[in-house]
Amino acid sequence: MAINRQKVLDAAQKYIEKNKYDKAVIELRALVAAEPNDARTLQKIGDLQLKQGLVAEALDTYDSVGNLYARDGFATKAVAVYKNVREILADAARRAPPGQPGPLSHLEARYGHVAAKLADLYRELGLTSDALALLNEIATSLQRQQKHVEAIDVFRQIAALDPNNPIPHLHVAEALSRERDVEGAVAEFANAAALLVKAERNNDALQVLERLLHHRADPGQARLCAELYLARNRPPHDAMQALAKLQICYRANPHDVEVLRLIARGFELVGQHEKAADLHREIARISAMAKPTT
C-alpha cells in the first residue's frame, strides 16, 4: 500500500507545533522508509533530533544527508549540511571549560572525514581558497596527531591546487625527510626552490637549497645554489659558500667549462686572483681541445 505523503507530513507538522518532536520524527521516518533517498525529509529529521538534544543522532543523520546530496550532484546543499556538522562540533568545543574536552569531543574523530568531503566539494564548486584553507587545517591536524604520512597526501593535494606556492612542497619535503624518503624529499625541495627562484625570492631559495644539499650533494642543485650566492655576493660569506657548492659540481665533472668559470669568479671575489688566473688558463686549454680540427 502506497504511503500518503501529504497526510504524513501534515501529521508530523501537528506534532511539531505541539513540540512533540519525537512523534514527528516517527512520522517522518515512515517517509524515509518508503523513499530512502529522500534527503530533504532526512534533513528535517536531523533538525528535530537536534531540537530534542539528541546531538549524536542528529550528526549521524546530517552525515547521511550530506552523502546523499553529494552523491546526487547537489554540491551546494551538501556543503551547507557538512558545514552545519562542523559548526555543531565547533560550538560544543567553544563552550567547554578551558583546558577540558568539549561535550562532543568523543565524536570529533568519528566525523573527521567531513572536513575532507567538504574540501572535495569546494574544489568541485571552484571555491579554491576555501578548499585550500580547509586542506591546510586538515594537514595541520594530522601533523599534530603525528600522522605524517597522511599529512603528506594532503599537502600534495594543496600543491596541486596551488601550483605556484612553494610552501606545500616544503611541507611535503620536510615530512618525507622525517620518513627518511630522501628521493622524495630532494624532489620536493627542488620544486620549492624552483618556485622561489621564479618568484625572485632568492634568499628563501638559498635556504631551501641548503636543506636539499644536506640530503644529497646534487650537482645541478649545487650549481644553482652557487649561482645564487655569487649573484647576492655578501662578502666574504657568499663567495665561500658558492665555492663549497661548486666543489660538488667539479667532482661530478672537472671539465665543465661553465662550472670552472663560476669557480674562477668565486676565487676572484675572495681575492685569490692567481687561482682564478690558473682556472682561466685551464678553461682556455679545455676550450681549445674541444675545437674541431680541420
How far is residue 121's CA from residue 115's CA, in Å, rounded to a whole number?
A: 10
Confidence of residue 294 (pLDDT cuts 50, 70, 90): low
Confidence of residue 93 (pLDDT cuts 50, 70, 90): confident
Confidence of residue 149 (pLDDT cuts 50, 70, 90): confident
**Of residues 28 and 287, more confidently modeled:** 28
Q: What is the total count of domains within the chain?
A: 3
Query: For position 108, what pLDDT does the model report?
Result: 81
Give the least confident one: 142-146, 176-180, 192-196, 228-232.
142-146
How far is residue 102's CA from residue 89's CA, in Å, rounded to a whole number?
A: 9
253 Rama sector, left if φ>0, alpha if ψ -120 to 50, beta otherwise:
beta
Which among 248, 273, 270 has a CA at the least distance from the CA of 259? 248
Q: Which of 184, 216, 248 is the last residue of a domain?
A: 216
pTM here? 0.77
Instruction: Indicate whether 84 and 15 sit together in one domain.
Output: yes
Instruction: Indicate whether 139 and 207 sit together in one domain.
Output: yes
Mean pLDDT for all residues in the chain: 92
> What mean pLDDT do residues 257-283 have?
94
How far is residue 263's CA from residue 251's CA, in Å, rounded to a whole number?
A: 12
Check if the beta carbon of residue 79 is closer than 8 Å to that of residue 121: yes
Instruction: Indicate whether 152 and 184 sit together in one domain.
Output: yes
Query: In which domain, by residue range, is 277 found?
Result: 218-289
Instruction: Indicate whether 188 and 268 sit together in one domain.
Output: no
215: pLDDT strictly greater than 80: yes
Phi first, then psi: give them for residue 191, nearest 5 degrees.
-60, -45
Confidence of residue 293 (pLDDT cuts 50, 70, 90): low
5: pLDDT strictly greater than 60: yes
Domain of residue 241, CATH code: 1.25.40
Alpha carbon dihedral 26, 31, 37, 43, in 10-degree steps, equals: -50
In a domain, 98, yes or no: no
How far is residue 220's CA from residue 2's CA, in Å, rounded to a whole number?
A: 74
Kindly give the residue spans of alpha helices, DSSP state H, lying in the chain.
5-17, 21-34, 39-51, 55-71, 75-94, 105-108, 113-124, 128-144, 148-161, 166-178, 182-198, 202-215, 219-232, 237-252, 257-269, 273-290
In a domain, 95, yes or no: no
Q: Which of 70, 89, 108 is the last residue of a domain?
A: 89
Confidence of residue 130 (pLDDT cuts 50, 70, 90): very high
Instruction: Indicate whether 206 and 223 sit together in one domain.
Output: no
In a domain, 1, yes or no: yes
Query: For position 266, what pLDDT does the model report?
Result: 96
> What mean pLDDT do residues 161-182 have?
92
Instruction: Indicate whether 144 and 210 sit together in one domain.
Output: yes
Instruction: Indicate whether 208 and 241 sit together in one domain.
Output: no
How far is residue 139's CA from residue 144's CA, in Å, rounded to a whole number?
A: 9
Instruction: Indicate whether 222 and 182 sit together in one domain.
Output: no
Cis amide bond preceding 236, omega within 30 = yes
Q: Give residues with Cβ within 8 angstroms of 289, minimum separation 6.
A: none
How far from chain centre, in Å, is Cα 20?
46
292: pLDDT strictly greater than 70: no
In a domain, 124, yes or no: yes
112: pLDDT strictly greater than 90: no
Query: For position 165, what pLDDT does the model report?
Result: 94
Confidence of residue 146 (pLDDT cuts 50, 70, 90): confident
In a domain, 101, yes or no: no
Share of the chain above pLDDT 90, in %: 81
Domain of residue 44, CATH code: 1.25.40.10
Query: For position 210, what pLDDT does the model report?
Result: 97
